Structure 1
Amino acid sequence: MNHKSHIKNPCTLLFLCLVFLFQSCSEKDNEKCDGACTEEYRTIIVKIVDSEDQPVALDSFKVVNLKNGRDLTIQVEEEVLQSIRERGSYPLFSDKYVQEYIQQQLDINFTGLIEGEEVVSEDYKVGADCCHVYHISGDLELTLE
């Protein structure tokens, strides 16, 4: 008896081709956006304190993309900046950049100055998924001596 297997239904053939195609994709290719994002707005914060655990008020701060030198500093209004200084909590990376860096990771640097002198410089790795930014590495709580 001769047994031959024929796929007669074109939908079955299409399904098998799709299964093969999806199994051959890399893990990054399988990261899909399903549209189920929360409506919260996330910002990664760097908290800076002195040796007595008091908030450090920087005169200015800057965040740059280490790959291309692009300024990623989040601009804030003066009254918000005053609150940031009082708490010593500075914005590092926010959902403002989700669409630009979707499904990517990047290396950034945070620099803070007091009276024109650099008092802090710290490197971070951050990323963005389909909905929000996230912290990968780098100390988010810094103590200045």
Structure 2
Amino acid sequence: MKNLILALLMGSAFLSCKKKTTDSECGDKICTEEFRSIVIRFVDNKGIGTEVKDVSVVNQRTGEKVYANSSAAANLIAGAHIVVNDGNTKSLSEEGDDLKITGTSVDTKQTKSAVIKVQGGRCACHINKVSGPEQIIFD
């Protein structure tokens, strides 16, 4: 009788080890702990960082505004703005989304825009810039 109970316990323990441990559609993934941000600089016609107002980032696929939820100090560099970071990964598509960045120069009152393409996705560990300028130049 003891052997039968022991065999049943061992059998159930063995069968329970075959169960899938993750229910994620993303599978087993190991991500690094780095935190990526994409910064764009607004510069004047001499290449010097300039102060801008009314900076907005809009996902052209969804029409929604994108907010980089970062306390990083990129805004301490003249004209530099964090436009998207790893906090936005899940709201971006794996194929990449076009993000329209717009800002108005405080000095010249001129408004300029640029489009960058950024990948993300529900299963992505980090954002990835595919294309687009590093800076927006005011005339």
TM over 0.5: yes
Instruction: Determine the structure 2 residue equivalent to 1:110.
Output: 101
User: How does the TM-score come out when normalised to structure 1?
Assistant: 0.63
CA distance in 2, matches of 1:141, 1:33: 37
How much has 1:125 moved relative to structure 2?
1.1
How many corresponding residue pairs? 111
1:61 counterpart letter in structure 2: V
Contact 1:56 1:85 in 2 (8 A): no
Deviations 1:3-28, CA, capped at 9 Å, x for gaps: xxxxxxxxxxxxxxxxxxxxxxxxxx
**Match among 86, 95, 109 for residue 86 of structure 2:** 95
Using the TM superposition, give the Cα deviation of residue 143 of structure 1 relative to its aligned residue in structure 2, in angstroms: 2.4
Identity %: 23
Look up the SS of the partner of 1:97 in the other structure: helix
Give yes or no for contact 2:69–2:87 (8 Å, CA) kept in 1.
no
TM-score by length of 2: 0.65
Q: State the partner residue of 1:128.
A: 120
- Aligned 8 A contact 1:64 1:109 in 2: yes
Superposition deviation, residue 142 in structure 1: 2.7
Paired position in structure 1 for 2:44? 50
Inter-partner Cα distance in structure 2 for 1:67 and 1:117: 28
The DSSP-based 3-state class of the residue aligned with 1:120 is strand
Contact 1:57 1:86 in 2 (8 A): no
- Select the structure that is richer in helix: 1
- Indicate how the Cα distance of structure 1 residues 75 and 118 shifts in structure 2: closer, same or farther if over 3 A, else same: farther
Unaligned runs of 5+ in 1: 1-31
Q: C-alpha distance in 2, partners of 1:142/1:125? A: 15
Runs of 4+ in 1 over 6 A off after TM superposition: none
Deviation at 1:55, TM superposition (A): 0.7
Partner of 1:142: 136
1:66 corresponds, among 46, 60, 69, to: 60
- 1:76–1:113 CA distance, 2 compared to 1 (3 A): farther
**1:99 is paired with a residue of what secondary structure?**
helix
Q: Cα RMSD over matched residues?
A: 2.7
